[in-house]
Structure 1
């Protein structure tokens, strides 16, 4: 990895690349069968509705990792934060500092935008990532449990 990794913000023409990174991440997590996103959906939500942003980390001009993130809001802090939905570095580029560089870039973006925090979820089985996050000073939110309503349950609730 170069001393100062290069980053670039995703553009509309990067949608196929974004989807490819999402699929690679899902395959790593053993969840590829859960990916229903397609290029049209990603383009609509990321670029038309501007509900998420994507940055790439580059090695010699080649995209080797990505992060997809969006703003959330903390009522306690009274300000926005950045929620990191996905961070992925291609296998052959891991353990070279790209993951840390992405998180540092996101921290820089958060501070530049006046955000109060940067947060993300990590799968419980992913010990290498957990160890990595802890080494950076990230703190697990062990007092919180994530709840989700989706799919047919979400539709049923909306129709009640």
Structure 2
């Protein structure tokens, strides 16, 4: 019985792990199966180089491949810590549900999953 899953981002030239994403599947009575993206982390030296974008887009693809209808994520309720994180999620046209809870579904999710 799995509680969560993870993907590792790596720099293949250096054979080095540079980040990860953790996630799990849940169910919503409103829309069905969902993928909850718990965390994305990229090492500071690799940030702003599109690795986070690649991981996020990959997670959108996993959402679709696993027949989930929506990908959700949350951010901490502290704008001083999460301004960049919220901006990152919003660039994918995620829907902001009261400032802390963001999600993608439908055509927005499909577009995000395209590489």
The CA distance in 2 between the partners of 1:66 and 1:143, in whole Å, is 24
TM-score normalized with structure 2 length:
0.77
Pick the aligned partner of 1:142 from 82, 98, 103. Answer: 98
Give the direction of change, closer, same or farther, for the CA distance of 1:59–1:143 in structure 2 (3 Å limit).
closer
Report the equivalent of 1:64: 18
Q: Are positions 1:102 and 2:55 aligned together?
A: yes
The CA distance in 2 between the partners of 1:109 and 1:68, in whole Å, is 12
TM-score normalized with structure 1 length:
0.56
RCO (CA 8 Å, sep 6+): is it higher in 1 or 2? 2
Unaligned 5+ runs, structure 1: 1-48, 146-160
Q: Are positions 1:53 and 2:5 aligned together?
A: yes
Post-superposition offset of 1:132: 1.2
Unaligned 5+ runs, structure 2: 102-115
Paired residue secondary structure (2:90): helix
Q: How many residues align?
A: 96
Residues 1-160 of structure 1 mapped to structure 2, 5 A cutoff: 49-60=1-12, 61-77=15-31, 79-123=32-76, 124-125=78-79, 126-142=82-98
Report the equivalent of 2:110: none
1:74-109 Cα offsets, whole Å, 9 max, x none, are: 1111x2111011110001100001111111111101
Please provide the CA RMSD for this pair: 1.7
Contact 2:74 2:100 in 1 (8 A): no
The CA distance in 2 between the partners of 1:118 and 1:54, in whole Å, is 15
Give the direction of change, closer, same or farther, for the CA distance of 1:75–1:132 in structure 2 (3 Å limit).
same
Paired residue secondary structure (2:20): strand
Give the direction of change, closer, same or farther, for the CA distance of 1:143–1:54 in structure 2 (3 Å limit).
closer
